[in-house]
Structures are given as C-alpha cells and as structure tokens.
Amino acid sequence: MPVPLGERSYEIVIGAGLWDDPATWQGLPAGDAMVVTNTVVAAHYLDRLRDALARRHRRVLDIVLPDGEAHKHWATLGAVFDALLGSGCDRKTTVYALGGGVVGDVAGFAAASFMRGVPFVQVPTTLLAQVDSSVGGKTAINHPLGKNMIGAFHQPLRVVCDLGTLTTLPQRELRAGLAEVVKYGPIADWLFFEWCEVNIDALLAREPAALTHAIRRSCEIKADVVARDERESDLRAILNFGHTFGHAIEAGLGFGVWLHGEAVAGGMVMAAALSARLGLAGDDLRERLQALLARCGLPTRGPALGAERYLALMRLDKKAVAGDIRFTLPEGRGRAGVHVAPDDAVRAVLARYADAPVAALA
C-alpha cells in the first residue's frame, strides 16, 4: 500500500516470504547496504537478509546492537556511525533497519544524520514495528529525562513487513504489539475495534489471516494520517493516544522495564478515563477498551509512580507546550482530539488507575 508524500512517497509491502522475492527490493539503490540489527534478531534473520540483499548491493555490511529499549541512546547511535564511517560508507549507502521499534528508530536517526541524510529501508520484525513505528518517518533516541526527545523526521524508501518474522516473536512482544493495533479503533475506526474484540483470540494464536488484516488495517489508518499531516502539526497527534501517560511510565520506571506497548496499554486506559472525566466520551468506551486490553494480557493500570512524578514527567514530553500537558483523548467512538486537562482531573485519574506495582512485567 502507498504512503503518499509527494517526492517522499513509498510503499508498505505486507506478506509472507517477501525477502526471497527479488521484486521486494526492486527499485532500491544498488550501492552499499548497512544492515542495523540487534543480538536477538541477528540470530534468527541476519544471514537470510544479507543473502537476499547480496543480489542487489555492491557490499552488504552489518552492525549488531545490544537488544532493548535501555540501549536506545547516544552511545548506540554512535556505534552505528562508527560502523558506517569505519566501513567507508558514502551518501549512496542504504541503511536497512532489521528489528523492532528500537532498531528502526536508531537506524532511521543514523540514516537521517549520516552525511546529512542517506536512504533507509524498514524491515520490521515485531508486530509493534509492523503496525506502527516503521511507518511515518519518526526516528529518535531516548534521553534519561524523556522518551524519543532527540530525533528527526526521515521517511524510509520502503517498509517490508514479512509475516514470517512474527513466528519467532516472544508472546510478550506479540501482546505489546497488540496494544498499538487496538489503539487505532478508538481514534479512527470503531468497526476495526469491534473486529479486534471478535478476533483477539485468533491474533494471540498468530493466525495468518487475522494478523494480515490487523497489520494492513493498522497501516492503512496510519498511512492516511501521516499523508495528511507528515510532521505532526495537528492531525497526526491522534496517533499518540495513550502515549503521554505511556512515555511517563517508561521514563519513570526506567526504559525497558515495561515494554512500550505495555506502557501504552496502561496509558490508553488512563487517557480514556480522563476523556470520560472531561465529558468528551462515555465511560463505556474506557470499559470496553480495558476489557479488550485485559484479554490481550496487557496492563490496564499504570504503575504507582505517584501523581506528582507523573505530572513532572509528562511536562517534559515533547507534546507539552508552555508547560501545558497535551493529551490525545477519545471524543467518541472512532474519533479523537488533543486536549489540555486540569492537573486536578489528571490527579484524579492517576489516583484510580495508576496503582499497579512498580516492577518489571513477565
């Protein structure tokens, strides 16, 4: 499917067995390739991707990063630059991001910055990356005070979602990805939310037809939003549903203690509760969302960081303006908008929905 962005337009390709099909890579630059991946993904897929790319590229190089959100920082980004420069790469080099959201964000930011920008291709291997982070051109690293605070917009040349990579995905990672799938229903397509309610067991069982539909519909929604608002001046902010609370959870616990999708799940429940408190949507929306996330095996409450800690972290969020915290909140079934909420209303929601143990999830 296309992501129509004028001269920066590209395609999202979804299917099984894509890597072995030469058509998947057709039209991409034929200079050097630098595959950026991590230790976990490399063990499963690095050799296969290198073999596939060798048919097109002059050289296929690679760098294997440590795994996890805790490594999404300056030192890891610097290691990618070291690999590019140390291998004699030039502005015709194409960077391939092979992995989940962390790899995609780091590799994309490196591609955006190296020699002021080189092409890159997203090859997501997690459900979360296939339905969300690989699409849209957001790249970033974390700072100890906030998630994704340092980065750039840099659109990929292509996104290749091979469903075969989901067969080796740990169940916890699959559940975390489902949070980003579920997210699209309350903000853009309530019928899709209802489809998720009916098909959640099939998704958890990794039935190919269900996964294909979920990935395609999620990408369709995100591609439509990105095409209308590439740099998040207005509409694209609806994709941050659950993320203001969620990013505070990740930073407050320490990056990687809860997975991104787990933090977003708890954040969506709190955002839906805040929406109901402000009279934007009925509390029945929060109830159904909470029930579906529970069926996914995801958190439905935030950790007990304390209201003042949450508020302080959310004021550091990149969506905050002049100290005002901005929340993406449902405005009904399949509609959302960005709102500033009084601190007292936020505290009331946190008092009720942010009482989970401060501990790593399994």
Question: Active-site residues: which are they?
Answer: 116, 138, 180, 222, 232, 236, 240, 243, 247, 260
DSSP, collapsed to helix, strand or coil, labels residue 152 as: strand
Q: Which two tokens stand for residue 63?
A: 């760098």
Helix H or strand E segment including 138: strand 138-143
Q: Tokens 């067969």 label which residue?
A: 167
Burial 230-269 (b: 16+ CB within 10 A, else e): bebeebbbbbbbbbbbbbbbbbbbebbbbbbbbbbbbbbb
- ∠ Cα 275 276 280 (to 5°): 60
Instruction: Measure the CA–CA gap between 72 and 137, rounded to whole angstroms.
Output: 17
Partners of 138 in beta bridges: 153
Partners of 158 in beta bridges: 11
